[in-house]
Chain A
Amino acid sequence: MIRRVALPTMVLATAAAMVWGEDSVPSPRSGHTTSKPDRSFGTALQWEKALDSASKRAERERKLLLVLAVAGHFEDPFFT
């Protein structure tokens, strides 16, 4: 899996994580941080933390489950 991400994007993402904390994102309305974690990791969707919680949420929301098996560091776009 080759993924090329421009260095500025990585720098911005790293800086954002340092400023806002790894598990928080700024609220677009208030400009303050919210408690909802940003788990997009450079993708256009959010990722559950664990299979169990993903499975339960899929059942609750009547959705299917997508399990992505990755060789590499998914959290870092450079490596996946």
Chain B
Amino acid sequence: MQALAKPEVGDFLSKNFVSVYDKVGTFQVNSSTDGKTANRNGGNVAAFFCTPSGYVIHTAAGPRTSEAFLAEAKWAVSVYSQILSDRSLGVVQGRIDQVSRVTAALRSAHSSAYDLMNKPDQVLPGRELVLHAPPADPKLKGLDDAGRKQRKQVHQLFKTHAFEPLAMIGPKVYKDILGEKVSNQEVQLTGGSEAKQAGRSGQSLLEFFEEGGAAKASPPPSGDPAKSKSAPPKNLNDTKKPWESKNAKK
């Protein structure tokens, strides 16, 4: 991901996030006619900004320019920090109520961002993190346009699904927004030795998501997030990971 090679992006992510990656299986690598260089079929990326326990705050679905990716990462941090710093949160009785409040506030923030992207003439706090600056390189305009479209789809989806476990929202983002097929197949390689050498198998995204016991135990919530007790964490310090289950392979 080219955006991740930019120092300013790396600095912000290192300061605010612990990063980890996972592989998706539906991806083909073929050798070219000269048998040396490899060609790719498919391939995509989604960056999930989560709590330490794996509840998704925001997602950058699809490739991004560095300007766009940094704006989305900052938006996620800013919105979540503001929600947690809300003084009224501390007086709410019970952790389930706290989580409901956070979930509702986060979904409201996504709703506001979605509205702002549809009506960009609005003047709102944090506007620059939703309507980020265009890329410095004009050649990246197509990528930037596609990214804005995908971001709008994410905000729309997260109006009702923000703060769900990664195991639950991950496949939905990957399939519905990116149009990718998530499978447990390993990366397929055909052709030259260089291509084969480059291919290393790893855990598929499906395996990763399937280890989410929380997702398998309950259906996705809908409607009023405050009434949903299945998907969001039971408390903000919940140490149970969405990808952990009693049946998970060790």
List chain A positions with a Cβ less than 8 A from chain B: 1-3, 42-59, 61, 63-76, 78-80
- Contact check, B6 vs A46: say whether CB atoms are below 8 A apart: no
Instruction: State which of B19, B25, B40 has its C-beta within 8 Å of the C-beta of A54.
Output: B19
Question: How far apart are the CA atoms of A67 and B26 in the complex, in Å?
Answer: 18
Neighbouring B residues of A70 by C-beta, 8 Å = 1, 21-24, 44-45
Instruction: State which of A58, A64, A69 has its C-beta within 8 Å of the C-beta of B57.
Output: A64
Instruction: State which of B9, B18, B43 has its C-beta within 8 Å of the C-beta of A71.
Output: B43
List chain B positions with a Cβ less than 8 A from chain A: 1-2, 4-7, 9-11, 13-14, 16-27, 29, 38, 40, 42-54, 57, 63, 73, 76-77, 80, 166, 170, 174, 180, 187, 198-200, 205, 208, 239, 241, 243-244
Interface of B is mostly: mixed
Question: How far apart are the CA atoms of A56 and B18 in the complex, in Å?
Answer: 9
Looking at the assembled complex, report how far the CB atom of A5 sits from the nearest CB atom of chain B, in whole angstroms. 9
Looking at the assembled complex, report how far the CB atom of B9 sits from the nearest CB atom of chain A, in whole angstroms. 6
- Contacts A44-B7, A44-B11; is A64 near B170 (CB within 8 Å)? no
Neighbouring A residues of B24 by C-beta, 8 Å = 69-72
Question: How far apart are the CA atoms of A67 and B208 in the complex, in Å?
Answer: 11
Neighbouring B residues of A50 by C-beta, 8 Å = 20
Neighbouring B residues of A67 by C-beta, 8 Å = 19-22, 47-48, 50, 54, 166
Q: Which residue of B is nearest A3, CB measured?
A: B2
- Contact check, B241 vs A1: say whether CB atoms are below 8 A apart: no
- Contacts A2-B63, A44-B9, A64-B57; is A71 near B45 (CB within 8 Å)? yes
Instruction: State which of B1, B77, B241 has its C-beta within 8 Å of the C-beta of A43.
Output: B1
